[in-house]
């Protein structure tokens, strides 16, 4: 979009917040870049330039506006919609791959050389992987500086910087202020920040409309004992992270999600935030979905009833895949029981002083020698679970934010006992493919019958083509037509 000057300029003139994250506006005379919705008076058109990302604007010598905070706006929904290598790279960078494995590791995950990947990213988003990772580190650092009382040394390493000097230099260059000045300014405007040792309270921005009841209701209904719970109006869960475990508490609001994070290691903060956003599908483009699905006379009533549905996703693709296979052909309650047994037997214990969480969901490595006695369900599904664990461990199935959606579907279908329903649900909730469609899902079939949609898998699949590329969101809307616990938030007391 940033290549279309007239369209971008009209968005800036209208101060339309729906375009935040799609591009940033740079002003040549002030050397500042802003969100499209920045409340200040727009500059003359001749003084404006548009960039696809904050990293591209920073690389060109611009610093973020202190009023609209463009470096804290929701991420671009474009990377969630697309399945090409640039979008896959952007999702991996957001997950912290460059900070952990470097640009070489990122390129290796994508199957490209470093030079090829840098050329592709430079051409499309105006910045190389290091610049994009630097922009993300700076954004995380600024959030911590302004919203917590953490010492700057902790902030630097939590944000992913390798040294205090690098942290100070980067913040000063990008923000045109020292860390001390940023914190003093934030205190003057908002008071003292929250958070103590190991605990942080953050605000996760979200595009409106935001029908959070669907995503939070689904997560609550399928919560695995010990790993997830609902307490005091918040969905809470444990998270396995690169340097330790964490506990996140997510409380929905109409225009944001309040997030409280407790970490074993502050270096995992950026990754934890990215995974919380992915779990709740916060970087979706609800207006585009509403426009597309609301135009269908068969869905417009459902869409108008609760616009802004999000997909209940995951913090760990491996965990989601295993849980989906465990839940094949059984109720949500039974699937929770099966997963809870694995967690109790193989999950790593965690300490939760604020609630009832007890374990992190076990990794594939921890499940490598799983005892079939803990798989108390039919032999065919036991074999599917064990084969999936081995396939992930051996690299025969790739499940991560940067994987190719269609290739992973084929890898999953090659496993005996995994069919189209399982592959599509994993693609939808685990991988984030916006066009996944589990046509054989019982809930989808029941809702389609209620709405008078075509019956039969082939007929419904053909009918669903009019919903592309948003069939995952059409599925979520269909689920909302059912009288089921996945649609209840806060959940009803048992």
Which residues does the annotation mark as catalytic? 34, 441
- Alpha-carbon distance of 179 to 183, in angstroms, equals 6
Give just the sign of the alpha carbon dihedral 310, 20, 464, 438: negative
- Alpha-carbon distance of 402 to 53, in angstroms, equals 19
The answer for residues whose C-beta is within 8 angstroms of residue 417's C-beta and 6 or more apart is 325, 328, 380, 381, 383, 384, 387
- Alpha-carbon distance of 81 to 87, in angstroms, equals 8
**What is the rounded end-to-end Cα distance, in angstroms, of the chain?**
49
Helix (H, G, I), strand (E, B) or coil at 48: strand
Phi-psi region of 17 (alpha: psi -120 to 50; beta: other; left: phi over 0): alpha
| Angle 150-152-153 from CA coordinates, rounded to 5° | 105
- Alpha-carbon distance of 26 to 24, in angstroms, equals 7
Alpha helices by DSSP H, listed for 316-456, are 317-326, 332-346, 379-394, 405-413, 420-425, 442-451
Which DSSP category does 210 fall into?
-
Half-sphere exposure (Cβ direction) of 437: Cα atoms closer than 13 Å: 19
């Amino acid at each position: 979009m940033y290549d279309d000057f007239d369209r971008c300029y009209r968005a800036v003139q209208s101060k339309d917040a729906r375009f935040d994250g799609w591009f940033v506006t740079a002003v040549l005379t002030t050397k500042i870049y802003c969100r499209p919705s920045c409340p200040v008076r727009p500059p003359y058109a001749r003084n404006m330039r548009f960039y696809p990302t904050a990293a591209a604007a920073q690389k060109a010598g611009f610093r973020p506006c202190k009023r609209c905070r463009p470096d804290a706006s929701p991420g671009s929904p474009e990377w969630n919609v697309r399945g090409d290598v640039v979008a896959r790279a952007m999702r991996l960078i957001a997950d912290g791959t460059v900070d952990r494995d470097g640009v070489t590791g990122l390129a290796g995950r994508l199957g490209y050389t470093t030079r090829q990947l840098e050329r592709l990213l430079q051409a499309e988003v105006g910045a190389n992987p290091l610049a994009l990772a630097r922009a993300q580190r700076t954004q995380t650092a600024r959030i911590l500086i302004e919203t917590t009382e953490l010492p700057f040394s902790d902030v630097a390493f939590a944000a992913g910087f390798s040294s205090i000097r690098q942290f100070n230099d980067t913040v000063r260059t990008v923000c045109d202020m020292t860390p001390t000045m940023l914190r003093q300014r934030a205190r003057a405007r908002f008071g003292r920040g929250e958070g103590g040792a190991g605990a942080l309270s953050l605000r996760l921005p979200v595009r409106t409309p935001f029908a959070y009841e669907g995503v939070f209701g689904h997560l609550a209904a399928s919560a695995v004992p010990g790993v997830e719970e609902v307490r005091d109006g918040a969905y809470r869960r444990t998270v396995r992270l690169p340097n330790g475990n964490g506990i996140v508490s997510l409380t929905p609001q109409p225009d944001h999600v309040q997030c409280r994070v407790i970490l074993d290691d502050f270096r995992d903060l950026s990754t934890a935030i990215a995974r919380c956003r992915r779990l709740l599908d916060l970087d979706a483009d609800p207006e585009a979905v509403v426009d597309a699905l609301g135009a269908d006379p068969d869905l417009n009533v459902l869409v108008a009833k609760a616009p802004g549905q999000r997909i209940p996703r995951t913090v760990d693709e491996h965990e989601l895949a295993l849980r989906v296979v465990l839940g094949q052909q059984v109720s949500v309650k039974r699937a929770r029981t099966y997963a809870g047994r694995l967690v109790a037997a193989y999950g790593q214990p965690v300490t939760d002083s604020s609630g009832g969480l007890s374990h992190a969901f076990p990794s594939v490595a921890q499940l490598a020698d799983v005892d079939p006695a803990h798989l108390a369900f039919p032999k065919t599904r036991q074999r599917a679970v064990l084969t999936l664990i081995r396939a992930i461990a051996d690299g025969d199935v790739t499940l991560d934010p940067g994987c190719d959606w269609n290739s992973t579907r084929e890898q999953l279908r090659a496993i005996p006992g995994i069919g189209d329903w399982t592959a599509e649900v994993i693609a939808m909730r685990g991988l984030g493919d916006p066009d996944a469609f589990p046509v054989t899902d019982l809930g989808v079939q029941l809702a389609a019958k209620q709405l008078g949609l075509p019956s039969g898998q082939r007929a419904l699949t053909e009918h669903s083509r009019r919903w592309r590329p948003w069939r995952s969101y059409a599925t979520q809307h269909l689920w909302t037509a059912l009288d089921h616990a996945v649609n209840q938030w806060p959940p009803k007391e048992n």
